[in-house]
Amino acid sequence: MVANPGGGSTDAGGGPVRHIPVLLAEVLEALAPSAGKLILDGTFGAGGYTSAILAGGADVIALDRDPTAIAAGQAMVAANAGRLSLIHSQFSQLGDHAPQGGLDGVVLDIGVSSMQLDEAERGFSFSKNGPLDMRMSASGVSAADVVNRAKLADLIRIFAFLGEEKQAPRIAHAIEKRRAEAPFVTTRDLAGLIEIVTPRKAKDKIHPATRVFQALRVFVNDELGELAQALFAAERVLKPGGRLVVVTFHSLEDRIVKKFFADRSGRAAGSRHMPMVHERLATFDPIGKSMVSASEAEAEANPRARSAKLRAGLRTAAPAEAADFSIFDLPNLASLGKLGG
């Protein structure tokens, strides 16, 4: 991950971290793969979950918006003789790739893979100097476009909400002043300015630029919107008894997943001050604990797991509800389309 706004330690912006599937045992327990099942892995990455699901006997449809992940996964496709389909797609569009009969499971690991962090040219990490990019799909508006073109007020809102950065106004004003002289081009251009504006204190566990880099990455890739759309899509394509398993890495993501499962739990509609209008049928029942986090042993062995949270639900036979994004209470941030590309 690029940051952990929840306050824990993180491999944000640091050196190379070997990719280890997070909460793998817990994911498999919640997902329950077996022969005859078809499971969609919406975030293929390095294929950690997909490989384990295949080993459990299930067939897999795997998606990834990163073309480099798709290319790297072709060997796994070839090795599994028709049991794995690997598709270049955003996971918000998972409904387009589900068969008519539905899916037995959907798993989503929300976050940046260590492979992306390791590639300086992708611009996700400031530990290696590279272009200020951060686009998972390698197309569209980049982080440099946002930093160099977004209005001051929009930068403040992006940093404050998506990065939970307390110094958002100070950092945004410094960016506005500097970009009038010369545009930001590289990751260290931006990280260096932030370090000057908000120097690192001895007690700080993360680099001063960590939260801003997280905010830019989340904004550039519309990660919160993608997650919300994927949850609604999973509700539509899962069979009764199908399982939705989501692993998140910071509080904003986890809040969306938590609100989704709470909303789909079948609570009564209408105001608590007014007579009940109608009873809503649950579209998901909880699987196990409402939230599962990594053990101390896993967190010590794999720093990426420290902030991970798993939530899972079992699809009921109730019809899917409308995709109502208001349940997530997300703010309207600046439009990417206005920033060019």
Q: How many CB atoms lie within 10 A of CB 114?
A: 20
Which amino acid, 103? L
| Residue 340, marked binder | no
Interhelix angle 251-263/223-237, nearest 10 degrees: 30
Interhelix angle 24-31/48-55, nearest 10 degrees: 50
DSSP string for residues in 53-66: HHHTT-EEEEEES-
| Residue 159, marked binder | no
| Residue 91, marked binder | yes
Q: Which residues contact 131 (CB under 8 A, 6 or more apart)?
A: 121, 123, 142, 144, 185, 186, 187
How far is residue 221 CA from its own chain's centroid?
9
| Residue 325, marked binder | no
| Residue 324, marked binder | no
User: How far, in Å, are 43, 96, 107, 321 from residue 40 at the CA level?
Assistant: 9, 12, 6, 21
Binding residues for S-adenosyl-L-methionine: 47-49, 64, 91, 109, 116
Binding-site residue ranges: 47-49, 64, 91, 109, 116
